[in-house]
Structure 1
Amino acid sequence: MSEKGPSSYFPSIEKTYGLPIQHWLDIAADQLSAGTPHMRVVESLKTEHGLGHGHANAVVAYAKAKLAG
């Protein structure tokens, strides 16, 4: 059974950017915990770290769900 949802992007994110997914999740979680809105964290990952929109959004959505859980 194939992975669904935000985590389905993780192998591609690691391959594309050469860093473990935890690196990106930590950045997103830190910003979300500080009260930064979802789309502002997405924009930060895109502009400051060079992630594509889909990848950045997947990382933020996953981190946000984990923080809420």
Structure 2
Amino acid sequence: MADDKIKGPASYFPSIEKTYGRPIAEWKALVRGRMPARHMELVAMLKADHGMGHGHANAIVAHTLAEQGE
């Protein structure tokens, strides 16, 4: 069913894992290890330190911060 389709930042996760070769849990742990920090600082870290594209980095940061309640 179309209602079962993953939406939001998590919809990027399969592509992120395939492209960068690491599970999402590892990316989230990297983000949590740099907290507290602003959203865009975390995005910039993933882009600069790990060569991640902006959309993928933003998806990981947004999902991680949402889980943290921030």
TM over 0.5: yes
Aligned alpha-carbon RMSD (Å): 1.2
Equivalent position of 1:36 in the other structure: 37
- Which ranges of 4 or more aligned residues in structure 1 deviate by more than 4 Å? none
Matches within 5 A, 1:1-69: 1-32=4-35, 35-68=36-69
Deviation at 1:20, TM superposition (A): 0.6
CA radius of gyration, larger in: 2
| 1:1-51 deviation per Cα after TM superposition (whole angstroms, max 9, x unaligned) | 21001111000000000111111011112223xx21100000000000111
CA distance in 1, matches of 2:59, 2:34: 15
Percent identity of equivalent pairs: 51
Which 5+ residue runs of structure 2 have no aligned equivalent?
Answer: none
Q: Which amino acid aligns with 1:44?
A: M
CA distance in 2, matches of 1:7, 1:29: 17
CA distance in 2, matches of 1:60, 1:38: 7
Which 5+ residue runs of structure 1 have no aligned equivalent?
Answer: none
Aligned residues: 67
Give the structure-1-normalised TM-score. 0.91
Give the structure-2-normalised TM-score. 0.90
